[in-house]
Amino acid sequence: MKTRKMNIQDVTYTVLDTDLLYHIRKFIERVAPTMSDAYLTTLKLNLETLTIKKSYRYMFLHNILEQHQFMMNYNGKKNEILYHPNYIYLIYQELFHVATTKYNKNMIYQGLSEGTKKNKYRGRGFDTGYTLYLTERYFCDENKGEFFGTHRFTKNIMSQLCDLIGHDQVLYCYMNTNLNHFQRYLVNYASDTEVELFTNIMDELKDAEDKNDFVKMGSLNQQALEYVNKFERMKEKNQIRLIAKK
């Protein structure tokens, strides 16, 4: 497959030629001006070998077997996006994954998550929620009804965590694929054990949203919100202590 060079915002990107170059250009044009060049290093590297393929398997599973999760997916190990042609608009959230995925031996790091070939990603709830938060922020005009309705619980919780920690801090951790750094911010408001329990709840919540398991979604969302409320109360206490010391 041929490659094509695109000069955007005075930066040259090398991209494998694809019918979806228009969408890749739109992604870069909107995201790049708001981020430091250092945040775009992984995106530039992955774009050089990224493959994007229409999947007839996805079309069969989605249209015939009604397995509606088969719309578009990025495989970080293969650096490949497979898509159902009716859902091209989902490419923007997958490009955020392209911009934040690093593969190192048996470990794969993606945004606010990390995992191995055999295990589910740890931090996948954080990563999915924040990816959709960013997608909605940058590409709200691409909404196709169900687009921003998916994973709304994890997305809303990540929005609250941005208010708690600071959006720039969360973005730094996400674009540098550093789950541990993100968790260290939360340790300011809870113990290591509590932060790990919260991480597990967010992962389970994401899985429940994948399956549309509304019973689990309601219960897990409530548990996650209780942790967020605890973090917020601790932040207020810390601020009061600092004021008192002055």
Consecutive 10-residue runs of the chain (246 residues): their mean pLDDT? 84 87 93 93 94 79 64 89 85 95 90 86 96 92 64 95 97 97 96 97 96 94 98 88 62
Q: Please give the Cα distance from 99 to 96 (Å, whole number).
A: 5
Judged on CB neighbours under 10 Å (0-12, 13-18, 19+), 220 is buried
Task: Write down the pLDDT at residue 190.
Answer: 95
Task: Write down the pLDDT at residue 242.
Answer: 61
Q: Please give the Cα distance from 116 to 12 (Å, whole number).
A: 32
Task: Write down the pLDDT at residue 119.
Answer: 76
Task: Write down the pLDDT at residue 116.
Answer: 84
Say if CB 132 and CB 174 are below 8 A apart: no
Residue 115 tokens, joined: 């995992």
Q: Please give the Cα distance from 196 to 21 (Å, whole number).
A: 40
Task: Write down the pLDDT at residue 118.
Answer: 73
Task: Write down the pLDDT at residue 12.
Answer: 86
**Cα 98 to the center of its chain, rounded Å:** 10
Nearest Cα to Cα of residue 154 among 224, 231, 68: 224
Nearest Cα to Cα of residue 24 among 84, 81, 85: 81
Task: Write down the pLDDT at residue 104.
Answer: 84
Handedness of CA 140, 165, 33, 103 (dihedral sign): negative
